[in-house]
Each structure stands twice: as C-alpha cells, then as structure tokens.
C-alpha cells in the first residue's frame, strides 16, 4: 500500500515523544538491528493480500512461542560482536593444544580477556539462533519465515560450531575449546555471522509485532476479494488513547463517502485517525485496534490532517492545503483503490471561501467510485447541497451543554451537527473574562 511521509506523520506513526508514537508503542524489539528493521517494515506497508496474510501467519506462529523466545540474545551481545571484529588482538590460535591455550592466556592477557568475553557473546548468539530455528521450524511454518530459518540453519550447520554443541553456557567451555571457537568466529565466520544477525533482526521485528498484537489485544483483520472496495469496522478505537470510545463504520460501493460534522473537541479528528491507523496496521500484516475488521486491499492511504505552511518556499497555509488536495485528486483518479482521510478542509481561508472551495472539492471527489473518503468539517451549511449525492453517508458527533460545561459522548450518530461551540469554550475557560479585565 502506498503511503507518504505526510500520512505517516498525520497518523503519528513516528513521533519524537514516545508516548505519542505508534512505532514506539509497538516496539518490543530486543536489539537495535531489530528496531531498525521494524522501522523499515513500518514505512513500507504490504502491497498484496498474499503477503499480508503470510505476515499474519508469521506473527501467529511466533505468538505460540513468546515464553520460549531466547533471552540470551541481547543488544549488548550483538554490539560486542561488532566490537570484536573492529578491535585488534594478537592472533588467536585455531587449533591450540592445552599448553598453547594456557600460554595464550598468560602471554596475551589483555587480548585474552577481550577474546573470552567476545566468545561468550558469540556463544550466546549462536546457541540462541539454534534454539529459534528448532523452535519455529515446524510443519506449519509459513513459507517466508521458513525461508529465513532454513538459511539460518544452513549457516549454523558448520562443523566448527560442533565445538560448542552440547554446552549450555560459554563458561563450560575449556580454554582450548573457547579459543578454537573464537578463532573460527573471527577468521572464518564474520560474513556469515553478520548475515545471521540480519536474519535475527527480521525475526526480532516480527517478534515485536507479534508481542504488540498479544499485549494490546489487537485483532487480525479479514481481507476479502472484491472488485469494489469494502470496509467494515466494529469496535474501532484509537490505540494511543487510555480510555477510548469504540466506533462502528461501514463503507461500500453504495456509500463510499463519509461526511462528518461536530463541534470542536467532539472527536472528529480522533475518529479519522483511528480509521487511518486501522487501515495502516492491517496493511502491515498486524492486528488492528477493533473487535473485528473486514476490508479489501487498498492501493494507497492518503491523509490531509495536519497541513503546514512552508516558510522556506514562501507557501501559505492555504496554498499548502490546495497543493495537498491537488495531489489527492491526482492519486484517486488513477483507477486504484485509495482510502482518503481529510480533517477540516481549507482552514486557511475565510468561511465563505472555505464553503465554496469545500463544496467544489467534494462534488468532484464523490464521482470517484473505486475509493473511500472520510471528510470532517465545521461547515455544516454545505451539507444541504451535498444531499443530492446518494453515496454520501452523513454522520456527526454530538455535544451536550449542561450548565457551563460541555459533555462529549464521542458516539457516532447519523445526520449532520450544526454545533458551533468555539465561543462557549472560550468563555468557559475564562478567556473572555481575562480579556475584559485588560
């Protein structure tokens, strides 16, 4: 599924503040290489239902073995292995006798300490990878997972690694066997070891995704084959909220445009982002924050939520909005299936101009039948002219005024809201009083 950096930013996939980032929420990797691989997976949603379903099966397979996952492989171990190859040491004997081993220990004391320490980390990594291959290589192993595990198994089936076979800990190795193992790793196993580390990084990323699905009670979506786009979500919620209110949403070929209204703070933006996050996670092969989800494969996901001006280019906020809308139109008219999420069109101009521009854009987008659109706006007045379009589903978030307080149910209802409570909020927050006392 095609996705750009603006959409990734709009959906808070990555964010400097960890508690505001989907990536950091779901990052359960154990190594920096795994984290880098997870980031690569997160910026490249999958493009076929086959690859999505296979990733789902991989995560389900790994989920059966969370409690057995080798703890001996750590980020510190892998960092130490890199250091081992980067640090100069006196030549390590490959086939030392008992006497040669002890002579190396006493005559090359400082180097011996580094060699022994590095050999211990290499031991932990190699035996950990052996445990993973034995644990996951079963009859029901998904093909892509099996391919990587078979390659790891080929690398691990080296005669020289028999020196450590049968040992639980590196400390159990004699000095002679430890030096022979360290010599093999340093002089004959470097490239293969780094390939093995790359395989583990991918396994680590899948492990993190699998743990996230389990810990956050995410549900694997069902992808269906259809010439027309389909989206059904029950119990959808935003995963970064502590106490989310669930939504139900259904879009199809007859109702492919959701027109969303409601007051400030009523929940429009959160709803739109929730839909986007679910679509995005589904195309990663992960579970989604919902009770159930059924959808077709989307070719792309594009958002228009947090538009920014560009001081360097001299582009105003409104011009940036127009540019984003233009880009959206060019994409959704290419015959592919797109999910388009728009939060408050044309905030950068006056209300009359915004109404005219918004109406023009919506009247054009409703003619696109092979994509889905979710659009929120404060401009409820334009809804009357839009009711001629049978494929628009009008929904709103209700707000109740009780005394001097607002109450938000965050429940999605049928119809159009004409709530405008900006001045009420300004007054309830005592801003009017402060201004009057200047």
- Classify residue 92: in a domain, yes or no: yes
pTM over 0.85: yes
* Strands 338-343 and 372-376, bridge-based pairing: parallel
| Structure token digits, residue 426 | 């300004």
Q: Are 285 and 413 contained in the same domain?
A: yes
Q: Which domain holds residue 146?
A: 31-215
Q: Are 423 and 302 contained in the same domain?
A: yes
Q: Are 76 and 103 contained in the same domain?
A: yes
Question: Tens place of pLDDT for every residue, the chain, 438 residues?
Answer: 999 999 999 999 998 776 679 999 999 999 999 999 999 999 999 999 999 999 999 999 999 999 999 999 999 999 999 999 999 999 999 888 988 888 888 888 889 999 999 999 999 999 999 999 999 998 889 999 999 999 999 999 988 887 787 888 888 889 999 999 999 999 999 999 999 999 999 999 999 999 999 999 999 999 999 999 999 999 999 999 988 989 999 999 999 999 999 877 778 899 999 999 999 999 999 999 999 999 999 999 999 988 765 544 545 778 888 889 999 999 999 989 999 999 988 887 788 888 999 999 999 999 999 999 999 998 889 999 999 999 999 999 887 766 667 677 788 889 998 766 666 666 666 676 766 778
SS3 272: helix
Which has the closest alpha carbon to 258: 408, 417, 391? 391
End-to-end Cα distance, the chain: 54
CB contact burial 416-428 (16+ within 10 A = b; e otherwise): bbebebeebeeee
> CB of 203 within 8 A of CB of 55?
no
Residue 280 and residue 265: Cα distance in Å, rounded? 24
Which has the closest alpha carbon to 249: 273, 224, 226, 215? 273
| Structure token digits, residue 60 | 């389900």
Q: Give the total number of structural domains in the chain.
A: 2
Paired strand residues for 400: 407
| Residue that terminates a domain, selected from 215, 236, 255 | 215
Phi-psi region of 251 (alpha: psi -120 to 50; beta: other; left: phi over 0): beta
- Classify residue 373: in a domain, yes or no: yes
Q: Are 166 and 192 contained in the same domain?
A: yes
E-strand stretches of 194-299: 222-223, 231-236, 247-251, 257-262, 292-295
333 vs 304, 321, 330, 336, 363, CA distance in Å? 17, 19, 6, 8, 14
What's 67's domain CATH number? 1.10.1420
| Structure token digits, residue 39 | 């980031």
Q: Are 158 and 55 contained in the same domain?
A: yes
Residue with structure tokens 């595990």?
A: 149
């Amino acid at each position: 599924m095609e996705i750009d950096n603006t959409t990734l930013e709009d959906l808070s996939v990555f964010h400097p503040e960890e508690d505001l980032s989907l990536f950091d929420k779901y990052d359960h990797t154990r190594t920096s290489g795994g984290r880098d691989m997870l980031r690569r997976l997160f910026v490249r949603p999958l493009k076929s239902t086959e690859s999505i379903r296979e990733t789902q099966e991989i995560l389900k397979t790994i989920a059966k073995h969370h409690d057995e996952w080798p703890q001996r492989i750590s980020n510190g171990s892998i960092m130490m292995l890199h250091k081992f190859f980067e640090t100069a040491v006196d030549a390590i004997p490959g086939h030392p006798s008992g006497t040669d081993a002890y002579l190396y220990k006493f005559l090359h004391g400082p180097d011996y300490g580094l060699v022994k320490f590095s050999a211990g980390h290499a031991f932990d990594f190699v035996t950990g990878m052996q445990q993973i291959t034995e644990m996951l290589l079963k009859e029901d192993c998904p093909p892509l997972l099996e391919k990587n595990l078979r390659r790891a198994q080929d690398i691990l089936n080296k005669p020289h690694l028999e020196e450590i076979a049968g040992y639980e800990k590196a400390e159990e190795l004699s000095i002679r066997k430890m030096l022979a193992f360290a010599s093999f790793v340093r002089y004959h196993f470097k490239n293969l070891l780094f390939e093995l580390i790359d395989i583990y990084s991918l396994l680590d990323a899948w492990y993190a995704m699998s743990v996230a699905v389990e810990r956050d009670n995410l549900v694997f979506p069902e992808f269906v084959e259809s010439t027309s786009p389909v989206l059904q979500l029950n119990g959808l919620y935003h995963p970064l909220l502590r106490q989310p209110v669930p939504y139900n949403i259904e879009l199809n070929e007859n109702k492919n445009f959701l027109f969303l209204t409601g007051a400030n703070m009523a929940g429009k933006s959160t709803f739109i982002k929730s839909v986007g996050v679910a679509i995005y996670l589904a195309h990663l092969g992960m579970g989604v924050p919902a009770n159930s989800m059924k959808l077709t494969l989307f070719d792309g996901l594009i958002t228009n939520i947090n538009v920014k001006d560009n001081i360097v280019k001299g582009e105003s906020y409104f011009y940036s909005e127009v540019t984003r809308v233009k880009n959206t139109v060019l994409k959704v008219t290419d015959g592919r299936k797109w999910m388009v999420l728009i939060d408050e069109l044309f905030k950068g101009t006056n209300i009359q101009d915004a109404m005219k521009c918004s109406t023009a854009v919506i009247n054009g987008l409703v003619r696109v039948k092979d994509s889905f659109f979710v659009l929120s706006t404060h401009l409820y007045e334009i809804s009357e002219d839009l009711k001629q379009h049978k494929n628009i589903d009008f929904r709103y978030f209700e707000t109740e005024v009780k005394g001097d307080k607002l109450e938000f149910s965050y429940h999605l209802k049928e119809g159009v809201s004409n709530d405008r409570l900006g001045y009420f909020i300004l007054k309830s927050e005592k801003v009017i009083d402060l201004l009057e006392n200047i």
